[in-house]
Amino acid sequence: MAVKFDLNEREVWDGNYAASQALRQADVDVVVAYPITPSTPIVENYGAYVGNGYINGEFVMVESEHAAMSGCIGASAAGGRVSTATSSQGFALMVEVLYQASGMRLPIVLNVVNRALAAPLNVRGDHADMYLGRDSGWIQMGAFNAQEAYDLALCAFKIAENHSVRLPVMVHQDGFITSHTAQNVYPLTDEKAYGFVGDIVPVDDMLDFSRPVTYGAQTEEDWHFEHKAKQHKAIMDSKGVIDEVFAEFEKLSGRKYSRIETYDMEDADVVLIGLGTTVETARVAAKEIRKEKGIKAGVLAIRCFRPFPLDEVREALEGVKSIGVTDRSSPGGAMGAFYNEVAAAMATSKSRPMVTDYIYGLGGRDLSIENCKQIFIDQQANADAGHITTDLQQFTGLRGPALGFFKTGRS
């Protein structure tokens, strides 16, 4: 029997601690881990819960993140509830195995504490690791604060293990700003939390000796395409289950989540789109710029990065005039990936608003309220002029001469 963990109605937790408590309450069977800053405390705390008898689980230390995700695959294929955490270089080393997990349809939950990718070496938060996983076939959800890191981790198990989904899920939080900032968090009781997540009902589990199965079959040009198409359809179809799980979670906790979140969007002319901790800064900036300059500013946040909510983004932005998309990852010779997706959504809208891209916050560089206000001011200038007045891609919060790329063809 597990030892009872005393919880207050309101706790002061950072994002890492919040995520580790979700793993404890979900009664995760196996965590296979190779710790890396800033996600280390998630797996460290799980190990402590096991060591101190708070949970009947297995904590497996391995020699690399590649091995960590490989171990998760083994435990998940065996039929267990499985989770781990990583960041940055560790995430990069895991990438090969991430594709294995999603291709084998294993419902692993990976807590990703977003951190920049070297070189130069950097431990702070940006979204380079998250972007690296964007084609991996995992559902990717973003938490903007510690409470959400806890809530979404619980939701992640329920989504991943749903038999019509059966896909691995990443829950992202920003390195240090979320992972190491202690905030008020309102946890569910252990009974409520486990009642919500429920028992895992395995599929094709390798410990079912009445039905031995092969995992990791080889498929060449005669089979591979069909398998990948089926997998893609599964992640596209998962949005219904994600919505259902969010609705059920709201009934239980009073906290409402959506695949996109909108703030001050009812009458907005200009919009900033972001994810992660940027969203809370942008919300403050939108409110202030409305008062200071009368700019009808709104914020749209992407909660669910994969499957990308293309229809929902288009619908929410139909009729706005100009949109600034924020990309917190060095784009390496193109527009930001997030920009490309929003621009694709808006290209198929009726009103076809203008869309520009802002690269920001690399290596944990703070995005200030003033930076966000300038984005709104740029968009208002576009709206007033009727065409994009800046380069399509700009850098915000960067020292040195202004840097920008690509021009609009619609002026």
Q: Which residues bind another protein (CB under 8 A)?
A: 103-106, 166, 203-204, 209-217, 219, 222-223, 225-227, 229-231, 233-234
Taking the complex as a whole, how short is the minimal distance between the CB of residue 338 and another protein, in angstroms? 29
Taking the complex as a whole, how short is the minimal distance between the CB of residue 145 and another protein, in angstroms? 34
**Residue closer to another protein (CB basis): 119 or 217:** 217
**Residue closer to another protein (CB basis): 101 or 297:** 101
**Residue closer to another protein (CB basis): 20 or 76:** 76
Residues 6+ apart with CB under 8 A from 328: 126, 127, 128, 276, 278, 359, 360, 361, 362
Taking the complex as a whole, how short is the minimal distance between the CB of residue 99 and another protein, in angstroms? 12
Determine the Cα–Cα distance for residues 383 and 295; give it in Å rounded to an integer.
11
Q: Are 328 and 360 in contact (CB under 8 A)?
A: yes
Taking the complex as a whole, how short is the minimal distance between the CB of residue 314 and another protein, in angstroms? 26
3-state secondary structure of 106: coil
Taking the complex as a whole, how short is the minimal distance between the CB of residue 221 and another protein, in angstroms? 11
Distance set, CA 225 to CA 35, 103, 220, 231, 312 (Å):
35, 12, 8, 10, 28
Measured at the CA of 67, the angle between CA 79 and CA 331, to 5 degrees, comes to 110
Taking the complex as a whole, how short is the minimal distance between the CB of residue 30 and another protein, in angstroms? 19
Taking the complex as a whole, how short is the minimal distance between the CB of residue 33 and another protein, in angstroms? 24
Exposure letters 308-336 (e unless 16+ CB within 10 A, then b): bbeebbbebbeebbbbbbbbbbbbeeebb
**Residue closer to another protein (CB basis): 104 or 110:** 104
* Strand pairing class (183-185; 139-142): unpaired
**Residue closer to another protein (CB basis): 225 or 406:** 225
3-state secondary structure of 353: coil
Taking the complex as a whole, how short is the minimal distance between the CB of residue 228 and another protein, in angstroms? 8
Taking the complex as a whole, how short is the minimal distance between the CB of residue 214 and another protein, in angstroms? 4
Supply the DSSP string of 157-185, one letter for each residue: HHHHHSTTT---EEEEEETTTTTT--EEE
**Residue closer to another protein (CB basis): 233 or 352:** 233
**Residue closer to another protein (CB basis): 207 or 217:** 217
**Residue closer to another protein (CB basis): 74 or 397:** 74
User: To the nearest 10°, the Cα dihedral for 249, 255, 258, 260?
Assistant: -150
* Strand pairing class (354-360; 393-396): parallel
Determine the Cα–Cα distance for residues 30 and 41; give it in Å rounded to an integer.
16
**Residue closer to another protein (CB basis): 214 or 411:** 214
